[in-house]
């Protein structure tokens, strides 16, 4: 690869996505600092809350996350008592449920998340922000097919 070929650095979809994800995650983490939750944990907890009781594999699909990654990510939240993982009827399955403590933690964190979200939208502008979200969803949809 010639030294002058910038495409793999400047144009790589994957690298650009990760780069932006790092920057934005730090931005949200800054706001969530005093919530006791990181962005990743807040997202996971919120997703689990909305989903209700749900097997690990299905929740992993929702999050576009490897199943084994989810298993590890559940650990700290489970330790904190924010969610529960219990066997289902089918004893192969383990179901994830947000505990009342988990819901309370979400309630506490929500305003901080909202503050970050608002600042983000202000910075980007409503228009551009909406477009970005559409693009991201579009990407995921394309990769599923």
Partner DNA sequence: GGAAATGTCGTGTATATACACTTACGTACT
Partner DNA sequence: AGTACGTAAGTGTATATACACGACATTTCC
Question: Which of 11/86 has CB closer to a copy of itself?
Answer: 11
> Which residues make beta-bridge pairs with 83?
98
Query: Judged by CB under 7 A, does residue 97 bind DNA?
Result: no
Long-range CB contacts (< 8 A, 24+ apart) of 50-56?
A: 51/96, 52/97, 53/95, 53/96, 53/97, 54/95, 54/96, 55/88, 55/93, 55/94, 55/95, 55/96, 56/85, 56/93, 56/94, 56/95, 56/96
Minimal distance in Å, beta carbon 139 to DNA?
14
Shortest distance, CB of residue 91 to a copy of itself, whole angstroms?
28
Residue 115, binding choice from a copy of itself, DNA, none, Cβ under 5 to 8 Å by partner class:
none
Q: Which residues bind DNA (CB under 7 A)?
A: 18, 22, 25-26, 29-30, 38, 40-41, 44, 55-58, 65-69, 71-73, 75-76, 85, 90-95
């Amino acid at each position: 690869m010639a030294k002058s070929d910038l495409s793999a650095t400047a144009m790589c979809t994957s690298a650009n996505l990760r780069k932006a994800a790092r920057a934005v995650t730090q931005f949200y983490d800054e706001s969530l600092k005093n919530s006791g939750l990181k962005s990743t944990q807040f997202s996971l907890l919120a997703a689990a809350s909305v989903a209700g009781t749900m097997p690990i594999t299905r929740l992993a699909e929702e999050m576009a996350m490897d199943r084994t990654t989810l298993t590890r990510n559940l650990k700290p939240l489970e330790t904190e008592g924010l969610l529960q993982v219990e066997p289902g009827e089918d004893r192969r399955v383990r179901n994830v449920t947000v505990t009342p403590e988990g819901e309370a933690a979400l309630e506490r964190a929500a305003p901080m998340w909202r503050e970050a979200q608002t600042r983000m939208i202000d910075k980007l502008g409503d228009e551009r922000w909406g477009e970005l979200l559409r693009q991201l969803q579009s990407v995921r949809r394309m990769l599923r097919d």
